[in-house]
Amino acid sequence: MKRTAIWPPAAAAILGILAGCGSSDDGDAVEMRTLRITVANLTANQPASPVLVSLHRGGDAWRAGSPASVALERLAEGGDGSALAAELAAAGGLVDATGSAPVAPGGIDSFELSYPAADDARLTVATMLVNTNDAFAGLSGLPVGMLEPGARQAYLLAALDAGTEDNAEAAGSVPGPADGGEGFNAARDDVRDAVRVHAGVVGRQDGLAGSVLEGKHRFDNPVLRVEIERVR
Amino acid sequence: MHRKFLAAALTALLSPAAASAADLEITITNLSGGIHFTPLLVAAHPSAVHLFRAGEPASAALQAMAEGGDIAGLENEVSAAGGQFVADPAGGILGPASSSGVALLSTAAGNTHLSITAMLLPTNDGFVALDGWEIPTQAGSYTLTLNAYDAGTEANTELMNPGAGGAPGVSGIPGDPSGRAGSGGSGVVASAPNDAEANVVHVHRGQLGDTDAGGGLSDLDSRSHRWLNPVARVTVVVK
């Protein structure tokens, strides 16, 4: 699966560059750059919600140690990244895309993002681990504007806890296939309202009465691999 | 995806750095508290070679290593690709919180990438591994940390099946050098089908264990047989 997103106002300029053979009469052409983002779900049994990838100049999707925004809460509790995409777009968005389907355990999704050259461009990637209350993973505002053509980077990422929902693992509270429960709920009832590294799920086999999760839903880090390549 | 890796391979082959040989001193430390490594395979090989890739099905040779600690098949894969290897640098099983001896490897031109594998005991098909790390051309000491993977070939029942469980396709854990495993468990998951995990190589979810040596779900001990990544540290000295 590959999706391509192109900064809408520049579509004509892109066509010009692709076909232009360095023609100089196109003085208004915006220099376009393209990043290929490949996201791999490394977990055993945690589908990842449709992945949000966003290039933006301002805004922060999250900061460890600080409370999650409501937009991040919507992604982390219910797998819906649309509010977070809108928030980043409003804060200085360049381009974004969202996967058309969840990424299965062991699966991969990839995106190509074309954007008008901006040395201060930053990349946010976010996806929920859906067999949890509010675990997610990704990159928050990684600087990518200075990547040279052909440059590649790879990140192995840990699961984070949004801190917005108690990790009770109770029936009706986990939206993934382990439960089919509720996604976003505005209530904040976690022990600490702050984004931090996730401690992992417990499960009823390990003594958490009322948990809908089992040993097979456990995970260890890293849970996600993100590869970034500047292809143009 | 594959186009990118092919491109990477071509770039490596064409770059002058890839032509140089290197003298390496490699030391591997088991960072876990209660997990043993079966005999290690340390291999240098061309960049296009992968003993495994996360997200792709395990080869038969990888499965034999991950389920039973047998590295002969992987040795053949490395040799067939023109690579070189050091087998069993620790001289047998490498215990928890222990270091292997120094493995010496003088790489031939073109063998630019380093891979390492060993099975984790006691697990069904867990292994510690490094997948194709580009060997630096600059002399120095480099430190890496390695994670535990799951071959995706055997359900993580966490039930002992001493000896027999090491054969590919035979359910069960072949041995426990720690001596802390029990028996009589009912199984954390069913042995078949292996549908509680991705059937491709992935990061191991960790083990459950329990505290009932004569029953319960798992034959493993939750106090001894869990871990968190990373499970190994590798020091590579490039001379």
Query: What is the per-residue DSSP string for B51-117?
Result: S--TTSPPPHHHHHHHHH---HHHHHHHHHTT-EEEE-TTSS-B-TT-B--PEEEEEPTT--EEEEE
CA–CA separation, B203 and B218 (whole Å): 20
Interface contact flag, A44 B197, Cβ < 8 Å: yes
Q: Give me the helices (H) in chain A, please.
A: 11-20, 70-78, 82-90
Q: Where are the domains of chain B?
A: 21-239
Interface contact flag, A105 B198, Cβ < 8 Å: yes
Interface contact flag, A205 B55, Cβ < 8 Å: no
CATH class of A2-230: mainly beta
Reported ipTM: the value is 0.88
CA–CA separation, B62 and B66 (whole Å): 6
**Residues 6 or more apart from A179 whose CB is under 8 A from it?**
A131, A171, A172, A173, A212, A213
CA–CA separation, B188 and A83 (whole Å): 39
CA–CA separation, A165 and B208 (whole Å): 24
Closest residue in chain B to residue A204, using alpha carbons only: B208
Tell me what the mean pLDDT of segment B60-70 comes to. Answer: 98
H or E, element range at B4: helix B2-14
Gap from B43 CA to chain A (nearest CA, Å): 22
pLDDT, one tens digit per residue, over A101-116 is 999 999 999 999 999 9
pLDDT greater than 60 at residue B12: no
pLDDT, one tens digit per residue, over A48-84 is 999 999 999 999 999 999 999 999 999 999 999 999 9
pLDDT, one tens digit per residue, over B110-165 is 999 999 999 999 999 999 999 999 999 999 999 999 999 999 999 999 999 999 99
> What is chain A's mean pLDDT, rounded?
91
The closest of A129, A73, A87 to A105, measured between CA atoms, is: A129
Show residues of chain A in contact with B227, CB under 8 Å.
220
CATH number of B21-239: 2.60.40
CA–CA separation, B130 and A5 (whole Å): 34
